[in-house]
Structure 1
């Protein structure tokens, strides 16, 4: 049922807390909490590190669990760096599927505002691409998970305001926040996302200037995880990936039809290419570059 006014404190939520360092396998977990040990981030050297910590669906009144778990991470020396994100899942049960079209409309109207308010680091935008009018049109024609799937790379089917999560676990996922394990920043981010989805559920119109947007929601205007620039080696790696992807893409499609390239890394005999299939399974392949065909464009000058 939409529209429907629902107190944001009565909406269940979850949060994915990405971090580096610490000893994730040794962290004592509260009941229902999950440590995804295969969800590794990158430390400053590029080595896989840390994990992703997730609570069970909870209400705002239960948020002290987050404090307890963040204290345990910090006691181990865990931190959040430029490679980490903070993803908030907001339950859509009060409205059901009726809220998906208004959520897509709200994404078209406010996604840039939400991104600006949360200060998303530029290098993280590839992980939270925008909802497009094409997506909205597809959903209007044929409401389905496939309609809100945004093809591209990497993980591009998960938009910054991710309506596809409704079909997976009954939530809207908001992916714009930078990583943090500071309690105030995590809670501020969760509160903003809850208030935003509550406003969408009630059919509210909001201003698009970021401070006025926060004021209209009665949400914090500041106090969110700060943007952190990626190191130069990572920026250069991404530039090389962007050049290599079009070259490797035809080979990948022969291996995995409709597969999406997540990353390309150097190997002794070529490149390691991680490919995600339509079912979400990732497989790594080693691809060897051609011995002919490279073109010299120009001499580089500093």
Structure 2
């Protein structure tokens, strides 16, 4: 006999969660970590000069009663001179253990109804929308036909398979990832963001009908309507680089795919030697970089 795990009332404070804290500056290699915390030293952000900087700090799965760990680690980052700039995001993972896979379809339905409201509450910076695209009706249809990670994968631009409400994370680590928040090292802002995400998932898990209006949604959830990380505008050079990427992407995508099967372009960076193209293999998440020569006739990659 199959046990139906959704809907089920669960106190949001009893859900395990984690926060991916992106930052620039500081000394991430030397930061003293609390037990279970991880510094992803291969995850860099971009500083004001365009250089790779900082890292991404991750806690182990914690409960609301453990939230002071966040304050300790945020204080340690700030003491090192780290900060969250326009290139940083704040991603909240919420554990789905009480419902299992039964909650994935309700989460997709909730996303189709409320993702714009959630994005509005979290004030997602316009330039970061590329990294948190919307759930689509086509994803829901695919999931109904075959409930698997590929059904909620959105191929296309950099990291576009990770939607703003990323249910694919269930198949990797048993969570849903909510990616809309801008970066912050402010404890109150981080905590409000985590609370909003926890309350949202708990409400979906309970089978509640939620409003697509931001203020009504916050009221329904009992979450703050404001006080989340503020959006920050990128520098002009970054905007120009983004425009260049958008113009080159349709031309370079077939070349990237022939170079790396299942490859998606992560970035296109102008250098003195040509274009440096970062390509992610979506089958295993590995990333490689390739130089694109710009001859008078024809295009071709050389080893990065």
Partner of 2:302: none
TM-score (norm 2): 0.95
| Aligned partner (choices 279, 286, 291) of residue 286 of structure 1 | 291
Question: How far apart in 2 are the matches of 1:190 and 1:249?
Answer: 36
Indicate conservation of the 8 Å contact 2:46/2:52, yes or no: yes
C-alpha distance in structure 2 between counterparts of 1:94 and 1:64, whole Å: 24
Instruction: Report the CA distance between 1:232 and its aligned residue.
Output: 0.7
TM superposition shift of 1:209: 1.4
Moved over 4 A (4+): none
2:110 to 101, 106, 116: 106
1:196 is aligned to 200
Could you give the per-residue CA deviations for residues 192-244 of structure 1, whole angstroms, max 9, x where no partner exists?
00000000000001122111110110001111000011111100000000111
Aligned to 1:253: 257
Offset of residue 288 of structure 1: 1.4
Q: Which residue of 1 aligns with 2:82?
A: 78
Partner of 1:297: none
* Cα distance in 2, alignment partners of residues 241 and 6 from structure 1: 44
How far apart, in 2, do the equivalents of 1:7 and 1:250 lie?
A: 48
Q: How far did 1:279 drift?
A: 1.2
What is the count of residue pairs matched by the alignment?
Answer: 294
User: What is the aligned-residue RMSD (CA, Å)?
Assistant: 1.1
1:67 partner SS? helix
- Quick one: distance in 2 between partners of 1:24 and 1:154? 25
**Contact kept? 2:113, 2:211, Cα under 8 Å:** no
Partner of 1:300: none
Q: 2:181 aligns with which of 172, 177, 199?
A: 177
2:105 matched to 1:92? Answer: no
Partner of 1:142: 146
- Cα separation, 2, equivalents of 1:81 and 1:175: 16
Q: Does 1:276 align with 2:269?
A: no
Asked whether 1:49 is paired with 2:49, we answer no
Equivalent-residue separation in structure 1 for 2:273 and 2:235 (angstroms):
26
The partner residue of 2:40 within 27, 30, 36 is: 36
Identify the residue that residue 299 of structure 1 maps to in structure 2. none
What is the CA–CA distance in structure 1 between the aligned matches of 2:101 and 2:259, rounded to whole Å?
A: 35
CA displacement 1:90-118 (0-9 Å, x = unmatched)? 00000000000000010100000000000
For 2:253 and 2:212, locate their aligned partners in 1 and report how far apart those are by CA, in whole Å.
38
The corresponding residue for 2:237 is 233
Cross-structure match for 2:31: 27
